[in-house]
Structures are given as structure tokens and as C-alpha cells.
Amino acid sequence: MKIVVASGNRAKLREISQIFTGHEIISMQDAGFAEDIEENGCTFEENALIKARAVQQKLHCAALADDSGLCVDYLNGAPGIYSARFCGVHGDDAANNRLLLEKMKGVEEKDRGAYFESCVALVLEDGKSITATGRTYGRILEKEVGNGGFGYDPLFYSFDLNKGFGEATAEEKNSVSHRGRALALLAQKWEEQA
């Protein structure tokens, strides 16, 4: 089956291809979808479904999308769905990290719990949808550590890896990835419905 992914991120496409073996995985750009999709949902699941449905309805084939972000306990789940634009500008990792550190200043280690969450949505050709969520738990560090990863990785200490995502190799991070966990669960749910 051809599955169009609502993303142009090559690393994401590779990860999806490794889980959904036996299917043709292509980016929405390669499939001819160039429109901007307004993500106006209130949850990761709603945003993933909005993206997958937009691609499925335009191209009339199965479409897969994900939405993900960082949820900090002390900040009542923020930045959450606003993770990429926490500072008010979309995709400014340095400013997002500075703002997160500012908001967490003086917070004790026991209150610095956080998790990365990813929700993936698959909308099949007939319009039926399947969603799954994955999480990776840890805590927010008091300063940036390491120079690996991207986004909030330098501030996230992974309980699975016992080190910061900024210090982890790509392979280590992918082994406990919230997106990888969500994709594996989605593949399992899809297989059960087949």
C-alpha cells in the first residue's frame, strides 16, 4: 500500500519506513501535496488527524501524520502542542530553550518531571482512522547538556537512557523515541484491525 506522510522530514520518513515495511512510504511533497495545513487542534491527536485527513482527502490514498512536543509537569503540560512556538516564534530552538529554563528557574529536581509525547494518525483510503500515542519520560535539566539532537533535547534527561538527549547518539535516542513507540503501537493496532 502507498502511504503518504504529512511531512518532508527525511529522518521521520526513514523511521516510518523501518516500521511499516512492505508499504511504499512517500513524503507529501513527493506525492504532489504542497499546501499549508493549519494545525488548530487542542491535542496532539487532533493535530495529527487534521494533517493526515487533509492529505488523504486531497490525494485519495492512505496518509500518516504525527504531532509531538514536550510536556512539563511543573508547567501543567506546557509547552505541549505549542512546543515548536513556545517563545512566540515557530522553530526558534534557542529561544524556546531559554524560555523553558527561565520558567523552571529554582524548581527542585523532584518537580522537574517531563515527557515527550507523539501521537501518530493513519487515515486509510476509505477514510477510517487509527491513532496511537507514545511517550518518553524524563526531567528538565538545569542547563543545556551535550550538543546532540535538536529542539529541547539538550534540556531533557531521559530516564530510559540515564543521560540527557543532548548527550545521546541518534541510535540511543531513537531506541526510546516517543515517535518510534507511537508508530510501533499504530502498526500493531492496524494489524489487529486487518
Q: Quick check: helix, strand or coil at residue 162? A: coil
67 given a catalytic annotation: yes
Pairing between β-strand 156-158 and β-strand 62-72 as defined by DSSP bridges: unpaired
Identify the active-site residue in 30, 36, 66, 67.
Answer: 67
Q: What contacts 2, CB < 8 A, 6 or more positions away?
A: 23, 24, 26, 61, 62
Q: What contacts 52, CB < 8 A, 6 or more positions away?
A: 6, 63, 64, 65, 121, 122, 123, 129
Q: What contacts 184, CB < 8 A, 6 or more positions away?
A: 19, 134
Amino acid (1-letter code) at residue 17: S
The DSSP symbol for 78 reads -
Query: Which residues form the catalytic set?
Result: 67
